[in-house]
Structure 1
Amino acid sequence: MTTKEKILVLGGGFAGLNLVKKLDKEKYDVALVDRHNYHAFPPLFYQVASSELDPTSICFPLRREFGKRRGKGVRFHIGDVKAIDVANKQVITNYESIPYDKLVIALGTTNNFFGNPDLINEVYTLKSTDEAIRIRNEILFRCERAAVEPDQEKRRRMLSFIVIGGGPAGVEIAGAIGELKRYILKRDYPEIPIDDLSITIIEGTDRLLGAMSTEASATALRDLRQLMVNVKLGRLMKTYKDNIVTLDDGSTLYSEMVIWTAGVTGTPIEFIGSDYKPGRGARYPTDDYCRVKGLDNIYAIGDINFLESEKFPRGLPQLAQVAIQQGKFLAENFNHNRWDKPFRYKDKGSMATIGRNRAVADINKIHLNGFLAWMAWMFIHLISLLGMRSKLSVLINWIWAYFSYNTALRLLLFGAKYPRRGSMWDKG
């Protein structure tokens, strides 16, 4: 009897999930590690944060996916990846050590605070479902608290929101809070004057959505201003302390809730038995076949992959389509053991939504905006969700919200703090 090669995949995002579903389970013993037992859909995190969608609508259990035809045979391990023991070819999580013959790193990225790690304790981030729920609860609580506050100055301080970063995530969450101010506040919170809520988005470059066309940037700027969002371009946040945001020009803004979407960096991993260090942005430089340079039998795909080319000298864009295409590409190479055709990214365009009937899309050389772009954005995101239940749930929520300007999801659900989780027998 022959023993199948063990392929271990770290991360159940777009890259990792597409890889394991396409791998030949007759040929390989396939396992996947993730800190969560579900696959989340990051492009819709902002809709959870703004109470437009329920978290379960954009998350799908990994074990259920591995029970389907294409996922059958994949073993799932829950855990945080702590280290890779290169010499002994095993991955160490907070629960176990897992051996591998081939290792694929698809852990994605985390928040980049650009040398100011203390910000993690001060700002709200939007890189996971948990973080989106945290933002949702804080926004709702501030609205409820402000509704019973008689002092106008205190109300205005409670409802002072700042978004750092003018990329798609920043524009989308700023637009969602702008819609709350323009359409929802006067109906659900009649005690709060509209002018008491302020929302500002700060971008360090001279335009929003810098990776998209100038037409898309101009449309996003116009639409945000129509939603009563203050836009500051060409400004960087230097510090945030005691609710004061200090910008690089010395000016200051007061905000009790800062949402950080300004940058990402690779998820950190320790390497044992090797002095290997990741490259720029904690991403892993690879060759054209996603093989990590300087490490044997280790591959990197998705946002954590750094593949230079003439068209992308700073690496491929950290987009879902890159991750999906690399996952499928690497699976084909493994299945057929062919390494003669290099990976080439097929750019299918970029999209961002600013609010109801407001979106921008760059598809090849075609630029769309307004209602048509918004419909295209919804269609693409809807078909990309896992599971028919999720698709139907999101579609029904969107239709209901479109005609009623309402959602049943503005519920403050903090969860109980006690009792604490019991200790496992092996943890003492």
Structure 2
Amino acid sequence: MCVKQKLVVVGGGFAGIYLVKHINRRLYDVVLIDSNNYHSFPPLFYQIASAGLDPASIAFPFRREMRKLKPLPEYHFGEVKSIDTDKKTVTTQYETISYDRLVIAAGTRNNFFGMADLDKYVFTIKRTSEALRCRNEILDRFERAAICHDADKRRRLLSFTVIGGGPTGVEIAGALGEMKRFLLKREYPTINPDEMTITLAEGSDRLLQTMSNEASAYALEALRHLMVDVQLGRQMKSYSDNTLTFADGESIYSEMVIWTAGVTAATFNTTGTPFSLGHGGRILVDEFNRAIGFGDDIMAIGDISLHATSDNPRGCPQLAQVAIQQARTLAHNLNRHSWHRTFSYHDKGSMATIGRGRAVADLKRLHLKGWPAWMAWMFVHLISILGMRNKVAVLVNWIWAYFTYPTSLRLLIHPERYPLRHRWGES
């Protein structure tokens, strides 16, 4: 009888959760570690940040999802702080866990490109908690502006800048644009929409660099229709005292800056043999997603992994589809104790939405824009969300929001300050 090995999976994003679901748990004792007790859906974080969706609609508890899996995997709450590759252990702030095989699927974090302390002053939407913080700040500014009698102060309160013209930047800028064009006059009649400024700054010469020229042009047109000031070729240099300075020396005033410009791989303190890292701090892997230099003991999948090929010299794009396909391929090989199926990414296309009824989609042989692309975008995202209840909740919200702007989600709920929690870094 084969002795079961202990397989530890770090990270419960698309890569981690799909691996846990597809691995043969009669061959492996599976342990999933994540700092959140739920799987979330990052492509829709911008809708949380703009109060379009409730966080619970795009999150699904690990323990509930795992209940359906037999034999039952384990979930351990905690953030992995260090990995000892010699002793084969991972350590969180709460415990040390040993492993026979380790799969790292910890994803990415925000990359501020060396701009010191920028993370203290800009808003980000890489996690559910960050998106909620962003939502609260936007709503807080609307409420304060609605009762402010100083026109100059209102303009300062309503000065928003989005840094980065990728899908996330375009989507959050579009959501803010819809608020400016349609929401303010309905729910905040004391605010003149012209007092709200939205700037989208992109360092390259076009939006949506990874998509077609047609998609970029449509996104630019759609954002301008939503009264977003799109500035191309504007690379951010610094941000302090509410002044955002660009590399060309020009500056603009903005009290709320939303950063979507870049990511870098999650990092750990490593004892023993270090990982080989590539572009963006990603772990170098072979064609089977095995970490270079560790044989069959350690693997990396998802955004944190990098397998360079002639088609993708910088590795596969950091997309959900890549993570899902890598997880399924790795599970196939682990289940058969045989490294015979190499990973090959099958590109199913890219999508981005710019408000209601406006989207772009680059599929294999088809370029969609406008209403057809928006319908395709909704369908793809709906089927990707975990849980039937969540799918229905999101669909109902989208249908309702198409005809009206529901107020029930625009709740301004600030967390209480006390008691202090040292695990949150409070003092």
**Quick check: TM above 0.5?**
yes
CA distance in 1, matches of 2:398, 2:407: 9
Q: Secondary structure at the match of 2:83?
A: strand
Q: 1:6–1:28: 8 Å Cα contact kept in structure 2?
A: yes
CA distance in 2, matches of 1:116, 1:95: 32
Q: Secondary structure at the match of 1:245?
A: strand
CA distance in 1, matches of 2:304, 2:206: 26
Counterparts in 2 of 1:208-223, with a 5 A limit?
208-223=207-222
Code of the residue aligned with 2:349 in structure 1: it is: G
Name the structure 1 match of 2:37.
37
Report the CA distance between 1:310 and its aligned residue.
1.3
Name the structure 1 match of 2:110.
111
Counterparts in 2 of 1:327-338, with a 5 A limit?
327-338=327-338
Name the structure 2 match of 1:55.
55
Q: Deviations over 1:196-253 (max 9, x none)?
A: 0000000010000000000000000000000000000011000001000001111100
Code of the residue aligned with 2:193 in structure 1: it is: I
Name the structure 2 match of 1:396.
396
Q: 1:66–1:72: 8 Å Cα contact kept in structure 2?
A: no
Name the structure 2 match of 1:426.
none
Q: 2:243–2:253: 8 Å Cα contact kept in structure 1?
A: yes
Q: Percent identity?
A: 59
Q: Secondary structure at the match of 1:397?
A: helix
Q: 1:213–1:362: 8 Å Cα contact kept in structure 2?
A: yes
Q: 1:397–1:407: 8 Å Cα contact kept in structure 2?
A: no
Count the aligned residue pairs: 422
Report the CA distance between 1:313 and its aligned residue.
1.1
Q: 1:49–1:136: 8 Å Cα contact kept in structure 2?
A: yes
CA distance in 1, matches of 2:89, 2:336: 25
Report the CA distance between 1:25 and its aligned residue.
0.8
Report the CA distance between 1:341 and its aligned residue.
2.3
Report the CA distance between 1:309 and its aligned residue.
1.1
CA distance in 1, matches of 2:274, 2:170: 40
Code of the residue aligned with 2:371 in structure 1: it is: F
Confirm whether residue 46 of structure 1 aligns to residue 67 of structure 2. no
Q: 1:350–1:362: 8 Å Cα contact kept in structure 2?
A: yes
Report the CA distance between 1:295 and its aligned residue.
2.5
Report the CA distance between 1:15 and its aligned residue.
0.2
Q: Deviations over 1:291-323 (max 9, x none)?
A: 111224111100011011111111100000000
CA distance in 2, matches of 1:323, 1:39: 14
CA distance in 2, matches of 1:407, 1:302: 36
CA distance in 2, matches of 1:214, 1:413: 41
Q: Secondary structure at the match of 1:259?
A: strand
Counterparts in 2 of 1:329-368, with a 5 A limit?
329-368=329-368
Name the structure 2 match of 1:372.
372
Code of the residue aligned with 2:23 in structure 1: it is: L
CA distance in 1, matches of 2:30, 2:131: 31
Report the CA distance between 1:2 and its aligned residue.
5.5
Q: 2:275–2:292: 8 Å Cα contact kept in structure 1?
A: no
Code of the residue aligned with 1:340 in structure 2: it is: H
Code of the residue aligned with 1:229 in structure 2: it is: V
CA distance in 2, matches of 1:385, 1:298: 28
Q: 1:236–1:248: 8 Å Cα contact kept in structure 2?
A: yes
CA distance in 2, matches of 1:79, 1:360: 38
Confirm whether residue 129 of structure 1 aligns to residue 128 of structure 2. yes
Code of the residue aligned with 1:127 in structure 2: it is: K
Q: Deviations over 1:73-108 (max 9, x none)?
A: 210011011111011001011110101011000000
Report the CA distance between 1:72 and its aligned residue.
4.5
Report the CA distance between 1:421 and its aligned residue.
4.4
Q: Secondary structure at the match of 1:268?
A: coil
Cα pair distance change 1:416/1:400, threshold 3 Å? same
Q: 1:309–1:315: 8 Å Cα contact kept in structure 2?
A: yes
Name the structure 2 match of 1:251.
250
Unmatched 5+ stretches in structure 1: 424-428
Code of the residue aligned with 2:136 in structure 1: it is: N
Code of the residue aligned with 2:15 in structure 1: it is: A
Report the CA distance between 1:117 and its aligned residue.
3.7
Name the structure 2 match of 1:25.
25
Q: 1:49–1:134: 8 Å Cα contact kept in structure 2?
A: yes
Report the CA distance between 1:404 and its aligned residue.
1.6
Q: 2:275–2:291: 8 Å Cα contact kept in structure 1?
A: no
Counterparts in 2 of 1:174-253, with a 5 A limit?
174-253=173-252
Name the structure 2 match of 1:93.
92
Name the structure 1 match of 2:78.
79
Q: 2:63–2:75: 8 Å Cα contact kept in structure 1?
A: yes
Report the CA distance between 1:339 and its aligned residue.
1.1
Q: 1:163–1:202: 8 Å Cα contact kept in structure 2?
A: yes
Cα pair distance change 1:327/1:260, threshold 3 Å? same
Cα pair distance change 1:84/1:168, threshold 3 Å? same
CA distance in 2, matches of 1:97, 1:72: 23
Q: Deviations over 1:29-68 (max 9, x none)?
A: 1111000000000000000000000000000000000001
Code of the residue aligned with 1:56 in structure 2: it is: A
Name the structure 2 match of 1:266.
265
Report the CA distance between 1:365 and its aligned residue.
2.4
Unmatched 5+ stretches in structure 2: none
Q: Secondary structure at the match of 2:354?
A: strand
Q: 2:275–2:283: 8 Å Cα contact kept in structure 1?
A: no
CA distance in 2, matches of 1:115, 1:295: 31
Code of the residue aligned with 1:8 in structure 2: it is: V
CA distance in 2, matches of 1:386, 1:72: 20
Q: Secondary structure at the match of 1:110?
A: strand
Deviates more, 1:11-20 or 1:274-283: 274-283
